[in-house]
Amino acid sequence: MTHDNHQESFIRKYIFSTDHKWIGIQYGVTSMIFLLFGFALMIIMRYQLAYNANTGLEKDLLSPDMYNALGAMHGTIMVFLGVVPMIVGAFGNYLVPLQIGAPDMAFPRLNMASYWAYFIGGVVMLSSFFIPDALPAHSGWTSYVPLATLSSGPGQTFWLVGMIFLITSSLLGSTNILVTIIQLRVPGLTWMRLPFFIWAQLVTSFLLLLAFPPLEAAGIFQLLDRVIGTHFFDPYMGGSVLLYQHLFWFLAHPEVYVLILPAMGIVAEIIANNIRKPLWGYKLMVYSSIWLGFMSFIVWAHHMFLTGMGTTMSSFFMITTMIISVPSVIILSALLMSLWGGSIRFNTPMLFALSFLPMFAIGGLTGLPLGLATSDIHLHDTYYVIGHFHHVVAPGTIFAIFAGLYFWFPKITGKAMNEPLGKIHFWGSLICMNGIFLPMYLQGLAGVSRRLANGGYDYAHAKDVLYLNEIMSISAFLLFAFQLFFIVNFFWTLFRGRYDNETDTNPWKSTTIEWTETSSPPLGHGNFEVIPNVYRGPYEYSVEGREEDYYPQTEE
């Protein structure tokens, strides 16, 4: 492939780039900053929960409204500005074309537009912290009406406007990923030869495409209620409060599968590579992820069991919720069973990927009493819920993110991160994550509600579990400290790092196209010197009769 060697301006090359690799890096860097910021908000909150006027301080650090603002923004930032842009925008954009042999995404300019829509949405959300004499949105990341409609100050309006930009970004991005995967696979790369990561991104993009619009409608209704005084959600004027919840959760439930599927994709790639044998049950995993994606659209009201739905609707959603646990267990089990008989390498990415399995298992299992309407009556809106969903996303998805960052760092930069630092980062994070979230189940079972600005000190039923607040907060502070090992490692490797075998573009000895057919980093213009052809499946490790223990997809 010949290219003109005209010099691109700095702006065209680094700001308004249409190269999926650079856009992936833009998404990655931006989302990492948001993840850190969202984490910092929680650190402040956890300080208040452990040390407030009830525990001996002169006065609370945060007023209840301030606490709620931090809480609402923590959730919003982590989900919409941190995790999803990282696993879909960064990992998806960077890796999808490379893993399928494409020169770029199907619509490079649309890709650029989707990043900048995300960026603007992020700026709008962040700017809500700087409104004079007013707080950012403080009605939960869920923005339930009537609280959100009536909330004081423009913070909530900023939230709604920010969400519109983020939803737009998501829409453009998911369309791009879908067309890319469907249309740009190289010859020989049939559906059942795709890396599981690609299948995960495919299903995820369908979820984003079809589930976000109802939230867009809900956001528009709420915006109009706030700004021009309509009564969509006002029961005194014929509106419906619960309409908002149905529209919100219609998105927000598929959204949690958006949070977990790409993570499973990342984990699958890393486990396959580090067991030096094929994944067990690849086809089963593929069909399960499709089934999971489909079912995710018909379980949403399990978030609404306490709204007086009536037994027919509750039963329906409870049954679908129980059914949806099956495909997720299948995927997890397949990954677990793949380990049997494997030649396991315990490098940093593999440690994070392996720990995903029990962490997601805990998160998933604790979801069951929430999905059963009867037990949910006791557990709804308690700390049990917070423990459940954090276990899946924090030592779940975020560990998958770290696994992916350590794993693909050599491909993206041509340098390898430091292993000892990585292992310290891993063990410290694993222990601290559980130190934060395991006690939450105990508090929730005791009946401690979520979103309490001082951690439950006003409630008699919380008395026996209050001591856990300090334990959780200290775990959180330590978790923050352990991230320094990652941050230092990241920048040190980037700027001073040793070149880990400059000519070795496949240090992990992987079979997939992004490792075997590209330089590290891949070529700026079109990724591949020669368009590869694919001859076999993605996980041909330890094939009999071969000298090497891996058989690349593209080798003839």
Binding site for another protein (CB under 8 A): 6, 8, 12, 18, 102-104, 106-108, 171, 174-176, 178-179, 182-184, 206, 209-214, 216-218, 220-221, 224, 228-232, 235-243, 246-247, 250, 297-298, 307-313, 316, 525-526
Q: Where are the alpha helices (DSSP H) in 339-418?
A: 348-371, 373-379, 383-392, 399-413
544-549 long-range contacts, CB within 8 A, separation 24+: 548/509, 549/276, 549/343, 549/509
Task: Specify the residue, 231 or 536, whose C-beta has the smaller distance to another protein.
Answer: 231
CA pair distance 97, 442, nearest whole angstrom:
45
d(CA 157, CA 172): 23
Element at 432 (helix H, strand E): helix 419-446
Give pairs for 372-377: CB < 8 Å, separation 24+.
Answer: 372/318, 372/322, 373/302, 373/305, 373/314, 373/315, 373/317, 373/318, 376/302, 376/305, 376/306, 377/305, 377/306
CA distances from 241 to 34, 157, 225, 308, 475 (A): 31, 18, 12, 12, 38
At its nearest, how many Å lie between another protein and the CB of residue 322? 18
User: Pick from 426, 546, 474, 55: which is nearest to 418 by CA?
Assistant: 426
Instruction: Tell the smallest beta-carbon distance from residue 382 to another protein (Å).
Output: 22
Q: Which lies closer to another protein via its Cβ, residue 170 or residue 274?
A: 170
Q: Which two tokens stand for residue 235?
A: 């029961």
Least CB distance to another protein at residue 5 (A): 12
State the minimum distance, in angstroms, from the CB of residue 294 to another protein.
8
CB of 87 to another protein, least distance (A): 20
Whose structure tokens read 């978790």? 479
Minimum separation from the CB atom of position 381 to another protein (A): 17
User: Is the Cβ of residue 31 or residue 168 nearer to another protein in the bound state?
Assistant: 168
| Residue 382, phi then psi, degrees to nearest 5 | -105, 180
C-alpha torsion sign, points 8, 11, 13, 18: negative
**Residue with Cβ nearer another protein (221 or 486):** 221
Render the burial of 229-260: b for 16+ CB within 10 Å, e for the rest. ebebbbeeeebeebbbbbbbbbbbbbbbbbbb
What does residue 541 show for φ and ψ, rounded to 5 degrees? -105, 150
Task: State the minimum distance, in angstroms, from the CB of residue 29 to another protein.
Answer: 23
Report the half-sphere exposure of 284 (CA within 13 A, side-chain side): 15
Nearest CB to another protein, comparing residues 294 and 492: 294
* Least distance from another protein to the Cβ atom of residue 1, Å: 8
Closer to another protein by Cβ: residue 197 or 206: 206
Q: Which is nearer to another protein, 252 or 476 (CB)?
A: 252
Q: Which is nearer to another protein, 145 or 351 (CB)?
A: 145
CB 147 within 8 A of CB 139: yes
Residue closer to another protein by CB (options 63, 183) is 183
H or E, element range at 196: helix 196-227
CA distance 442 to 458: 18
Q: Closest separation between CB of residue 234 and another protein, Å? A: 9
Instruction: Please provide the distance, in angstroms rounded to a whole number, between the alpha carbons at the two ends of the chain.
Output: 21
State the Rg of the chain over Cα. Answer: 23
> Least distance to another protein from the beta carbon of 359, Å?
31
Judged by beta carbon, residue 6 or residue 59, the one nearer another protein is 6
Q: In whole angstroms, give the CA distance from residue 448 to residue 382.
A: 6
* Nearer to another protein among residue 239 and residue 439 (C-beta): 239
- Give me 221's structure tokens: 């209704």
Q: How far apart are CA 461 and CA 28, in angstroms?
A: 43
Of 130 and 236, CB closest to another protein:
236
Beta carbon of residue 298, minimum distance to another protein (angstroms, whole number): 6
Asked whether the CA dihedral 36, 37, 42, 45 is positive or negative, the reply is positive
Helices 468-496 and 419-446: angle between axes, nearest 10 degrees? 160
Residue number, 250 or 352, with CB nearest to another protein: 250
C-alpha–C-alpha distance, residues 520 and 497, integer Å: 14
